[in-house]
Amino acid sequence: MNAFLVITLIGADRPGLVNAIADRAVAAGANWLESSMAQLAGHFAGIVRLEIAESEAGKLEASLRELEAQGLRLTIERGVAQAGGASLRSLKLELLGHDRPGIVREISSVLARHGASIERMETACESASFSGEPLFRASIEAHLPAAAAPADLQAALEALANELMVDLKLEAAAND
């Protein structure tokens, strides 16, 4: 039987952080399944999902904890195998508009009211090409329960987009 480890990490950015994690994973016989990592305000932050034989998971956790002595803060949680999402609809949402506080709260609130669960979200603030004004960009992948009405969610998101004065694109993604 295999275990799934979900590792979150943050520390001062420096060369070799990903390699230090990858070295320990390989040495323990773990398979690197997925990750998302970024440099944010001078810090390296990431999340990684590893699969490893249950009998070796404790050793890998102990090995990863050694990185804390080098200033890397880790949280390690046991995950579960991903279940099939046959009863869920996959959605993809793209948003672009003038930056202002509260956009993520507003969008996530509408999604939550309609029972949508955010699978993946990436956001960024950037300068508009001509004016230099700050723009907010978001890409969200979510799952909507089969019992929920996609048209109702779309109407709520379109109303919010008008209120926020942002461009919003919502599309059904291929089911997993």
**Which pLDDT belongs to residue 34?**
93
One domain for residues 75 and 100 = no
Of 44, 79, 114, the one marking the end of a domain is 79
One domain for residues 23 and 69 = yes
Give mean pLDDT, residues 87-99. 90
One domain for residues 168 and 119 = yes
pLDDT at 128 over 90: no
Domain that holds residue 37: 2-79
pLDDT band at 129 (very low <50, low <70, confident <90, very high): confident
Tell me the average pLDDT of the chain: 91
pLDDT band at 131 (very low <50, low <70, confident <90, very high): confident
**Close Cβ partners of 85 (under 8 Å, ≥ 6 residues apart):** 143, 175, 176
**What is d(CA 158, CA 155) in angstroms, rounded to the nearest whole number?**
5
Please list, residue by residue across 136-169, b when 16 or more beta carbons sit within 10 angstroms of its beta carbon and e when fewer do. bbbebebbbeeeeeeeebbeebeebbeebebebe
**What is d(CA 42, CA 162) in angstroms, rounded to the nearest whole number?**
35
pLDDT tens digits, one per residue of 22-65: 999 999 999 999 999 999 999 999 999 999 999 999 999 999 99
One domain for residues 99 and 125 = yes
Q: Of 159, 175, 115, 168, which is closest to residue 140 (Cα–Cα)?
A: 168
**What is d(CA 162, CA 142) in angstroms, rounded to the nearest whole number?**
21
One domain for residues 16 and 45 = yes
One domain for residues 62 and 123 = no
CATH number of domain containing 57: 3.30.70.260
**Total count of domains within the chain:** 2
Task: Work out the end-to-end distance of the chain between its first and last CA atoms, rounded to an integer number of angstroms.
Answer: 24
pLDDT band at 174 (very low <50, low <70, confident <90, very high): low
